[in-house]
Structure 1
Amino acid sequence: MIKRPTFHWLMLLALPMAPGLVQSAGTGGLIDGGIDTITEQVERRAEALVERKMTERTRERIVNADELPEQLQRQLSELLPVRTRNGDTAFYEARQIDGSRAVARQWLITATEGELDLLRRPSVTILEQQKLEGLGLTVVRFRVRPEMDSREALQEFLPELSERLDRNHIYRPQSRSSSSVSKNGAPAVSSVCTDSVRIGMVDTAISNEHPAFSQAEIVQKPFLAVENHTGELAAPRAHGTAVASVLVGASTPQTQPRLPGATLFNASVFYEGSEATSGATLAHLLEGLNWLAKQNTSVINISLTGPDNRILAAAIKSLQQKGPLLVAAVGNEGPAAPPLYPAAYEGVIGVTAVDNSRALYRWANRGEHVTFAARGVDVPVAHPNGGQIQDSGTSLAAPVVTALLACSLPRWGKEQALEALIDNAEDLGDEGRDPSFGHGFLDDQSERFRNQPAG
């Protein structure tokens, strides 16, 4: 997040690069609001300077203390450019005070057409207005000047709308490559049911040309467009391919997937970041959830986490009212980490991971929002470049529970399907529901779950 003092320093550098900029505005232009245009152009030039400095120094990972002010050094490390496939900078990821990341200076708000007039002020630039009919929401995305880039400032600036706005946060996938192979080996996977179920997931793109998906029915749609750019953000494939292989992939031609009769709808919302990281902006995540809401899915798998967000909370509540059950990974930030979202929202089925010995994954989040545990350590998954690897994480446990629910819902309602899973869960840890294992471990390969008859 770039603060005002830094921009003042950067403006001094940017102004000489724009000779005649102030002169061309003229007195009348300033009176008519031309000063806002000048400020906006100077800020853009300042941001360009920041990006250039970052690009020059990132290769060496060194910023000499005598070259830049101390404050700018700190902020350079907290800003990461995100680029399109064409190499253009689409936006910056900015680290927030609470440790979360968000698109720098971008906010979202649920507003009516009439309320948009409140946003039409010199310090606000409206970037996009979307009517998300599947979610029943109209969302406006806007950018603010550096001095307005805080909740406190916006509460004072927009008191009527302050409870319906939040940052354009960044959300992350929740799996990690395993560093070792499980000593006990992974159990063979059999189908849970052969019903023609419709399930959704929001993730990275899926490499559906992988042999594991040769018999799978996968429909996917990307949500990676960026305003003012002809190209989209680059789409990673590893995480979504791994999660999809747990749901509908066959590890060998001789084995069946968990859901051989399923149609999987995947909303590809993650962009490829720097240093092999990936993220999804809330704006793109909302577009993906909106599309899934229209696909008549019974369950939606969400193997990503991030901070609490007013707009995301509203979208999740709307989805729950429309029908599909939501299954989400609880996260891999460790036992002491705070709750992550959307798994921690009320009514979302939060899933943690255990290994083949039923020991809890050491990086799994804990909390009252944990509903079930499933296998998620050293799981064989499809790799986008072909073949298989072993991954670990709550991301890979969530689709196990998604598959079980998808098979139960044709026969029972949502409440009965959940009660059936609770009754069949193996109690681990403290007696009853606990913050580590929830209601307990769901072994989808046990006789009680495998090859359930059609409803």
Structure 2
Amino acid sequence: MPSLRPSRLLLRSCRCLLLALGALAAAAPAWGQLGLPGVPQLPGGLGGQLPSRLEDGGLRSRLRERVLDMTELPRQVASLDQLRLATIRDLLARHPAQLEADPRGFPIVRREILAWSPSAAGLAAATAAGLDVASRQDMPEVGQTLVVLRVPDGVATAAALDALRAADPEGVYDFNHVYTGAEGGAGAAPASGAGAATGGAVGGTAGDVRIGLVDSGVDARHEVFADARIVRWGCDGAAVPAPHGTAVAALMVGKSARFSGAAPGARLFAADIYCDQPAGGSASRIVQALAWLAREQVGVINISLVGPANRTLGSTVAALVARGHLLVAAVGNDGPNAPPLYPASYPGVVGVSAVDPKRRPLPEAARGPQVMFAAPGSQMAAAAIGSPPYKMVRGTSFAAPLVAALLAPELPAPAPSQAARALATLSAGAVAAGDGTGRGVVGENLRVPPSSFR
């Protein structure tokens, strides 16, 4: 066999490198979206370090984008599906005392069932089955009551749920599903010194624009929030900063000499539903956070979280949509053939996908009728906890906050007619980009490229 020339050897080596990087790049977005506890961040997702030299970072970024373009979608989608299953199994294995799996394999809070304004008959059936009322919260803003029922030992959670649904067919009962997407949500240690800050407003910049955020904690000590006003909810008033919540918040309201979010100066109402707890991100916490935002009359709310359909969460979302809120949610990074994820797929929710600088949907982004808009979601920077203070982010989680920030000035408070006008206004300015982008691409000028940190 004739020997290969040096140039052909180099070409073959490069192809091998591309394939290796392709495997990492295909997996990276799912890690960044899921943000499951203790999972190491691969290049390309949340946590991709910005280079000190533009040339190095530009080459790496272009190489990752090129690799994703070259990767066959069926193989990539299979990897994403397997990755989600693996990370969920890891989450369940490391927190068996707090979490278990529902019959479909989705993580739920162990031995908890959610009841949405249960009837007297439903509560009687729960008592007869040995279930205890763990908590009850009235939500006058949406005219409902959230009841958390505790399943006794020796009774399977799924069996108890089936019995309740049979005894009260008109009731709304479901598992307390755990939703992912917040980097470092449950079980991840916060940055050094995190938690030293207290709840309440941070900074003093006033503004008429109000935006809601349901995510993990925000590091308000970061320089991009120096002049921001942040109103906190959750964690008993303590601050528990996390990378995902900090990055998403910065993309909405952050501002520094090197960085600008989509709506700097807007007032951010940030609900931390994780609080560094194993059962963080539960449906019950999301529902409570949404009730708080409804009480505060926040018109536009960003939710960069993904998970299964849940009757209690779906009922809450429907109630807020009916009140005239705009809920903006990431559609997820499980690939174009993945089943719909929620809350983005609920009726009335503004589902957001992510595109690259050429307006191409990211290969890992979900597709389907739940996509209403697309926004920048790669080759962009956001605030990070620790050093360096800015990192590259990628995924639909980071496209959604841009859309939320664009809608917020048009909807200062919930109102159905004004919400419709806000969507119509944004749609009118969207750039048609074909399949996978819904009504079109918006916010292209809001991408902060790595070159800003040269």
TM-score grouping bracket, smaller chain normalisation: 0.5 to 0.7
State the match for 2:299 in structure 1: 298
Distance 1:343 1:136 in 2: 23
State the match for 1:351 in structure 2: 352
State the match for 2:428 in structure 1: 423
State the match for 2:439 in structure 1: 439
Distance 1:213 1:78 in 2: 32
SS in 2 for 1:219: strand
Distance 2:281 2:248 in 1: 16
1:327 alignment partner AA: V
Distance 2:112 2:252 in 1: 35
Match of 1:400 among 393, 399, 402: 402
Q: Percent identity?
A: 36
Distance 2:276 2:442 in 1: 33
Q: Does 1:332 align with 2:333?
A: yes
TM-superposed deviation, 1:317: 0.9
SS in 2 for 1:173: coil
Which structure is higher in helix share? Answer: 2
Distance 1:103 1:114 in 2: 25
TM-superposed deviation, 1:113: 6.8
Q: Does 1:164 align with 2:142?
A: no
Distance 1:368 1:343 in 2: 10
Cα 1:195–1:356 change in 2 (3 A) is farther
Match of 2:131 among 114, 124, 147: 124
Q: Does 1:99 align with 2:101?
A: no
Which of structures 1 and 2 has the bigger CA Rg?
1
Distance 2:91 2:181 in 1: 20
State the match for 1:384 in structure 2: 385
Contact 1:195–1:259 (Cα < 8 Å) also in 2? no
Distance 2:154 2:367 in 1: 37
Distance 1:348 1:361 in 2: 21
TM-superposed deviation, 1:380: 0.6
Q: Does 1:215 align with 2:227?
A: yes
TM-superposed deviation, 1:381: 0.8
Higher RCO structure, 1 or 2 (CA under 8 Å, sep 6+): 2
State the match for 1:237 in structure 2: 242
Q: Does 1:198 align with 2:210?
A: yes
Cα 1:172–1:352 change in 2 (3 A) is same
Cα 1:235–1:336 change in 2 (3 A) is farther
TM-score by length of 2: 0.67
TM-score by length of 1: 0.66
Which structure is higher in strand share? Answer: 1
SS in 2 for 1:272: coil
Distance 1:391 1:256 in 2: 15
1:389 alignment partner AA: K
TM-superposed deviation, 1:76: 9.5
Cα 1:102–1:112 change in 2 (3 A) is closer
State the match for 1:12 in structure 2: none
Cα 1:256–1:157 change in 2 (3 A) is closer
CA displacement, residues 307-335 of structure 1 (integer Å, 9 cap, x when unaligned) = 10100011001111222211010011112
1:106 alignment partner AA: E
Residue correspondences, number: 332
1:287 alignment partner AA: Q
CA displacement, residues 413-455 of structure 1 (integer Å, 9 cap, x when unaligned) = 22122112222211112xxxx4x11111113528xxxxxxxxx
TM-superposed deviation, 1:366: 1.2
State the match for 1:110 in structure 2: 116
Contact 2:337–2:366 (Cα < 8 Å) also in 1? yes
Match of 1:137 among 136, 144, 152: 144
CA displacement, residues 257-296 of structure 1 (integer Å, 9 cap, x when unaligned) = 422231100010024367xxx8401111111111111112
State the match for 1:260 in structure 2: 264
Distance 1:395 1:211 in 2: 22
CA displacement, residues 244-265 of structure 1 (integer Å, 9 cap, x when unaligned) = 0000112x32654422231100
RMSD across aligned C-alpha pairs, in angstroms? Answer: 3.0
Structure 1 alignment gaps of length 5 or more? 1-74, 83-88, 177-193, 226-231, 447-455
Cα 1:270–1:410 change in 2 (3 A) is closer
Match of 2:156 among 149, 152, 156: 149
Distance 2:443 2:90 in 1: 44
Contact 1:247–1:257 (Cα < 8 Å) also in 2? yes
Cα 1:248–1:154 change in 2 (3 A) is closer
Contact 2:102–2:158 (Cα < 8 Å) also in 1? no
Contact 1:80–1:92 (Cα < 8 Å) also in 2? no
